[in-house]
Amino acid sequence: MAPMTESLIDQGRVDGAQAPLDEAPRGGTTGGAAGGSDPRLQSLAGVLEATNAQVRAGHSAGARLWPTGFGVLDSALGGGVRSGELVLLAGPQGLGKTTMGLQMLRNAVTSGDRSAIFFSFEHTAQSVLERLIAIEAAEGAQARALAGDLEDDPISLTTVRSLFEARHSAANTLEERFAGVPGGREAVRSLDRYADRLHLHASSGAHTDVAAIRQAVEQVTADGGPPPFVLVDYLQKVPAPTVLLGEEERITAVVEGLKDIALSLKVPVVAITAAEKSSLKAGTRMRTHHLRGSSALAYEADVILVLNDKYSVVARHHLVYHLEQAERFRQWVVLTIEKNRNGVDQVDLEFLKRFEQGRFERTGRIVSEQLLEERIFTE
């Protein structure tokens, strides 16, 4: 089945560089067996030739970076996520995996001439649009507050949804419908900055396999557009061949396919990942080994990010002896960099939840309290 991709506002709704080793330049290949030629094989001389060509053309000779927009996370990742990387984003249910993933995608596509594609297996296009408007409203209000223009709090995600669901409105456009709420008109207008570069895919567990994901990514770049930031929500819903009956086999096939897409198409792939039911017990700190299909995921991924509720993982003495902080801990999420092939790992960061606005605060920090398993401890 052909992929169902659309730019953000197509039809008035939302439905939708370095020389890679799989593309050897002329004269850089090495003869294969039986007198043939393997296009995936090239000499180091060929790599140097292609890299020099990139430098002469004024292009980057290294991987392309997509900033996540979360400053402390980008610093730890060396600037953001890279072309060719598979990034896993995991965490317990209801802790904001999709929220953070969508916010990363939005931040990446607004950071310059970049595109993005969101493969959504669980959320409708209109739901994604509602979330984006709430994010834009909050970002706009924050920018105006920093400029000294004090105003009412930004509209909530609940308000956005109620405006979408309203009937018999005299408004003919979303901009008109949101004109009556603080920052509403501006939030809708903000989408115009990237609406034609953000694509949504109406993904299905019956049809959207790895081949369909690859086809959709290729479609986005077919007309010479920039390679997209790819978000898959979520990995375990991507179907695999039915001959692979075991869950471990199926997940292995999918994660290997997503990694190949990242490498061959030179894009970052961020895949939201589910956990084993046994890891969802109250008070359990989620780790990489709790993920469904964890052995394959841990091996193939370049970066693994795991979310945990701070209140659930902070050491007990912070709750017993600092009662006034206990409720404050509930407002924060801990993001642990469990694996990072290109930089530091085993680092615990924290971000303030703004779920009423459909987002996290982008300004995070390193966790200062002792967490369970004593991953970070400061006297």
Q: What is the pLDDT of residues 236-259, one digit of tens each?
A: 999 987 766 688 888 899 999 999
pLDDT band, residue 187 (cuts 50/70/90):
very high
CA distance 51 to 225: 21
pLDDT band, residue 27 (cuts 50/70/90):
very low
The CATH T-level fold of domain 5-26+64-305 is Rossmann fold (3.40.50)
pLDDT at residue 148, rounded to an integer: 74
Give the CA diameter of the chain: 75
Q: pLDDT: is 295 or 106 the higher one?
A: 106
pLDDT at residue 25, rounded to an integer: 43
What is the distance, to the nearest Å, from the Cα of residue 207 to the centroid of all Cα atoms in its chain?
22
pLDDT beyond 60 at 204:
yes
Q: pLDDT: is 296 or 239 the higher one?
A: 239
The fraction of the chain above a pLDDT of 90, given in percent, is: 51
pLDDT at residue 47, rounded to an integer: 82
CA distance 311 to 239: 35
Average pLDDT of the residues in 157-176: 88
pLDDT band, residue 152 (cuts 50/70/90):
low
Range from 92-96, 263-267, 279-283, 369-373 carrying the lowest mean pLDDT: 279-283
Query: pLDDT per residue over 14-23, tens digit each?
Result: 333 444 444 4
According to DSSP, the residues that pair with 336 across neighbouring strands are 306, 348
Average pLDDT of the residues in 158-166: 92
pLDDT beyond 80 at 197:
yes
Q: What is the mean pLDDT of the chain?
A: 83
Nearest to 96 by CA among 353, 356, 366, 365: 353
pLDDT at residue 107, rounded to an integer: 96
Q: pLDDT: is 102 or 290 the higher one?
A: 102
pLDDT beyond 50 at 77:
yes
pLDDT at residue 366, rounded to an integer: 96
pLDDT at residue 166, rounded to an integer: 86
pLDDT at residue 5, rounded to an integer: 52
pLDDT at residue 265, rounded to an integer: 94
The fraction of the chain above a pLDDT of 70, given in percent, is: 82
Q: pLDDT: is 184 or 53 the higher one?
A: 184
CA distance 116 to 105: 7
Query: pLDDT per residue over 325-376, tens digit each?
Result: 777 888 999 999 999 998 899 999 999 999 999 999 999 999 988 887 543 3
Which amino acid is residue 123, in one-letter code? H
Which residues, other chains included, contact 233 with Cβ-Cβ below 8 Å and sequence gap of 6+? 97, 98, 101, 118, 119, 120, 121, 122, 123, 272
